[in-house]
Amino acid sequence: MDDVDALPHAEWSAVAAWLKAGKAVTTRRARLADVAAFVRWLAAEAPDVQLPAVTEDHLTHYRDTIATGTARAAAHPADAAAVALLSVCAVRVSELVSLTVGSVAIDAGHTVILFRRKGGKVDQAADHVTDSGQPGRRRRLVPV
């Protein structure tokens, strides 16, 4: 969190306002961890770019490095997995933090993650496989 505290005042104020907008403590905590991870990544990948100058290209590159496991400056491998699930699969923070080892299953030869959605509905996230048998970049959520 020192990375966020070290931001210039204008950037820190914008981040603080975004964090304050989160109603639940868990949401604010997750947002702060995500911002800190992004700031560390940005410092490692593009040290000349300040937070207000971040473009969609930077965010896409960040998402891709997280999804492929090639991101630098990650605090823990689980951080990379969490960011990938949040950004690629549109998983809520509450759904992510409730995952357990038992949430991972095998379905038709594919490893899937089972999510308990709002209202008790269960969905699964699975990698998309192309016709060539190679993993694709698209993820899908499938109702169970």
Name the residue among 135, 44, 31, 131 with its Cα closest to residue 83: 31
Mean pLDDT of the residues in the chain = 75
Question: Taking the alpha carbons of 17, 23, 94, 28 in that order, is the dihedral positive or negative?
Answer: positive
pTM across the whole model: 0.52
Assess contact for 34 and 80: CB atoms under 8 A. no
Asked if residue 141 has pLDDT above 60, the reply is: no
Model confidence pLDDT, tens digit, residues 51-72: 888 888 888 888 777 767 676 6
Asked if residue 135 has pLDDT above 70, the reply is: no
pLDDT of residue 103: 81
pLDDT of residue 31: 83
Torsion, CA 3, CA 9, CA 11, CA 16, rounded to 10 = 80
Q: Where are the domains positioned within the chain?
A: 2-88, 96-143
Q: Tokens in use for 125?
A: 């996230």
Asked if residue 96 has pLDDT above 70, the reply is: yes
Q: Which helix (H) or strand (E) holds 136?
A: strand 135-143
Torsion, CA 83, CA 84, CA 88, CA 91, rounded to 10 = -60
* In the block, residue with structure tokens 């933090």: 97
* In the block, residue with structure tokens 């490692």: 44
DSSP string, 73-116: S-S-HHHHHHHHHHHHS---HHHHHT--GGGEEEETTEEEEEEE
